[in-house]
Amino acid sequence: MKILLTVLLLIALFICYLIINTLRLKPTDAKTAKVQLDTSDRAKKYGEALSEMIKKETVSFRAQEDRSKFYEFHKTLEELFPLIHEKCEKHVFNGSLLYRWQGKGEGDPILLMSHHDVVEAGGKWTHDPFSGHIDEDGKVWGRGTVDTKASLFCIMTSVEELIGEGFIPECDVYIASSCTEEWSGEGAPETVKYLKDQGIHLKLLLDEGGMIIEDPIGGVHGTYAMVGIVEKGYGDVRFTARSGGGHASAPSKNTPLVRLGKFMAEVEKNYPFSSRLTDELKEMFRRLAPNMDFGMKLIFANMNILSPVIVKIIPSVSSAAAAMMRTTLAFTQACGSDGANVLPQEAWVVGNMRYIQHQPNDESIKIISSLAKKFDIETEVIYQAQPCPIVDYRGREFKIVEETVNEIYPGVGVSPYIMTGGTDAKSYSEICENAIRFAPLYIDPQQYSSIHGIDENIYSGTLPMGVDFYKAVIKKS
């Protein structure tokens, strides 16, 4: 009986300790912070200029030979930003752009980047996706407003206006904009090759990634700038099952499609990749924890003690959070026989993999190949790219971004963010250790969900803050 009472007392003390730790975390200003959109003539002017960029249809796709639409878009940029085209060195790589604004030569240069190609715009839109319609609330509508012509507009406007003011940066400033980002094409690699050939090493790169959003994760309340510091590796992998085929009227057991189905079900039921609460992920949760619901706060206020529990429960609670902790595999394509009454001699599925840094390409492929082999399935890597270097959230470059957000968006929280998608920045790993994925623009939940979806739009009133952000970064670099 004494042992039982002792155990119960220890449990009660432990729970009290957890609760006390939780209550020590007071909500931050981010919980009540709201972005005040600019309603001045400046915002209206910027919205009208962005609208002109949206009107140029720049849909890209793999094996696209005709790049004339991108050169038409370049003409629009020449009209909108005449000083850049007069004062800056310009290079074009089959439709992808690179500008060099020469500075005083103090230290390594910086590069500001945002692609100008977009995905297709199917479905029924409220306003035509290439109309650049501006509504009464000042929203600019169209494909590419969020992803990512608005940030490109802000980058180029910041440089255009600084040139007009007679400002000369301490270091060279590069602007890059590829026309092949949406399908991981050659635009960024060719740009990087040119920079490498010139012996260029970048101290800072800013590309698309996180943005300024409200309630960034379920159970977290407030407005945050989510700053991407990690980009996972990428892979397309084909899994193939074979047999002798035959007529569907007399099927044998474990035909190719059945084996593939069992394999996919096993992957989903017993995920083969390890989860880890990395230092970067802990920092993200540490910054978000003060504004969490109590139940979540109880867990994340005590991360050092409850890490094993967090690693176990998060994958079942949030697929987005789980993707920040481990390699992922999503089955995206499939093929069987050509006839409805024919057993396939060969069937395959393609899986899209995103490799985590602690279990990179080779290790993750070895794990999934071993599992596939149990179902007599062959594994073939179609394409892959390695995980990118992790940006130090304690470093000067991250601090510049953090300080600038605090200046431009008072009260808004800043948190490092683990990217689960891909960007052109992955191509720059050899020439830049500080590739930060962040577009300094506020978007609401509908606008966030419209990325690669229907009714993509952005507020004109967020553009002035974006321009001011890039100006400040340039002056601090």
pLDDT tens per residue, range 373-413: 999 999 999 998 889 999 999 999 999 999 999 999 999 99
Instruction: Look at phi and psi of residue 192 and say left if phi exceeds 0, alpha if psi is from -120 to 50, else beta.
Output: alpha
**Residue 8: partners with Cβ closer than 8 Å, 6 or more residues away:** none
Task: For residue 30, give the DSSP letter.
Answer: G
Q: What percent of the chain has pLDDT over 90?
A: 83
pLDDT at residue 248 is higher than 80 = no
Dist CA 249 CA 252 (whole Å): 10
Mode of pairing for the β-strands spanning 204-214 and 110-113: parallel
- pLDDT tens digits, 161-193: 999 999 999 999 999 999 999 999 999 999 999
Q: If you search the block for the tokens 């009454």, which residue do you land on? A: 341
Binned at pLDDT 50, 70 and 90, residue 312 comes out as confident
- The segment with the largest mean pLDDT, out of 19-23, 105-109, 312-316, 453-457, is 453-457
pLDDT at residue 245 is higher than 80 = no
Provide the residue count of the chain.
Answer: 477
pTM: predicted TM-score of the whole model, two decimal places: 0.92
Summarize the confidence of residues 71-84 as an average pLDDT.
Answer: 98
Summarize the confidence of residues 21-39 as an average pLDDT.
Answer: 94
- The residues facing 339 across adjacent strands are none
